[in-house]
């Protein structure tokens, strides 16, 4: 992928799905294990994630080991129309994905959707590389900005803390408390706003029990492993809204 600076001794390469559609096909069955099971069942996610290839192939990124061509990281993103104002910014990842696939207007921005790193390659700076690659992809296509609906990586440790409070937690050095938000900050990303209702997962409690191994014997609010906010159970249905944080990267 042109525009990505890798160390001269690097043993990896970055491709787009447009450049290597064969690798994209191989990646379809990978990275499932990097997500909590429940997170694979969004009510709207198949609509926009399912539209990424081939229409948006230049914005799908694959990090590959040169010697083996093993895919060790993947970045998924989608271009969308945005006038740059708070009022016009979609209400989270579902809203941006649905706008992108239903809007006939020329896109002006790129939205990150997922940055996935193989479990045995975490801690190697690949998530940072994926963000940088998305910025290059946006720039190469004449899009003005990269927006990321960030899923904070430590928010599941504090599911009862509203995202509006969590996002303001910082370390002594002033950087965000959350590691994934910290990666974005170090790359120049600026927090725009929080989205408490970004991604909807609503399903019968039998499904939630299968996904979480928890029984839900009565109506109420429940915390569960991997959840960023409580699951609301009512009349046999579990409703979960995953919160995100919009982060802006100039391109």
pLDDT at 1: 72
Q: What is the pLDDT of residue 6?
A: 59
69: left (phi over 0), alpha (psi -120 to 50) or beta: left
pLDDT of residue 154 exceeding 60, the answer is: yes
Q: Which two tokens stand for residue 66?
A: 């040169």
What is the per-residue pLDDT across 215-247, written as a single tens digit (0 to 9) for each? Answer: 999 999 999 999 999 999 999 999 999 999 999
Q: What's the mean pLDDT in 185-210?
A: 98
Cβ(226)–Cβ(36) below 8 Å: yes
Averaged pLDDT of the chain: 95
Secondary structure (3-state) at 226: coil
Please give the model's pTM, rounded to 2 decimal places: 0.94
Confidence (pLDDT) at 162: 98
CA–CA–CA angle 161, 223, 92 (5° rounding): 60
């Amino acid at each position: 992928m042109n525009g990505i600076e890798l160390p001269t001794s690097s043993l990896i390469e970055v491709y787009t799905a447009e450049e290597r559609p064969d690798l994209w096909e191989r990646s379809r069955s990978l990275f499932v294990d990097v997500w909590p099971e429940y997170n694979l069942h969004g009510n709207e996610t198949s609509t926009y994630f399912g539209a990424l290839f081939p229409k948006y192939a230049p914005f799908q990124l694959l990090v590959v080991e040169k010697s083996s061509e093993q895919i060790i990281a993947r970045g998924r993103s989608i271009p969308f129309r945005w006038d740059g104002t708070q009022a016009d910014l979609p209400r989270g990842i579902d809203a941006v994905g649905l706008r992108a696939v239903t809007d006939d207007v020329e896109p002006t921005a790129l939205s990150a959707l997922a940055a996935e790193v193989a479990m045995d390659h975490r801690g190697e700076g690949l998530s940072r590389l994926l963000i940088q690659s998305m910025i290059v992809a946006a720039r190469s296509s004449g899009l003005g900005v990269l927006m990321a609906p960030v899923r904070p990586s430590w928010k599941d440790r504090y599911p009862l803390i509203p995202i509006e409070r969590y996002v303001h937690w910082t370390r002594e050095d002033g950087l965000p408390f959350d590691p994934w938000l910290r990666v974005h900050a170090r790359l120049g990303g600026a927090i725009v706003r929080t989205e408490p209702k970004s991604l909807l997962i609503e399903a019968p409690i039998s499904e939630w029990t299968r996904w979480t191994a928890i029984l839900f014997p009565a109506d109420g609010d429940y915390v569960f492993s991997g959840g960023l906010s409580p699951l609301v159970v009512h009349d046999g249905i579990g409703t979960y809204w995953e919160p995100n944080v919009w982060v802006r990267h100039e391109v």
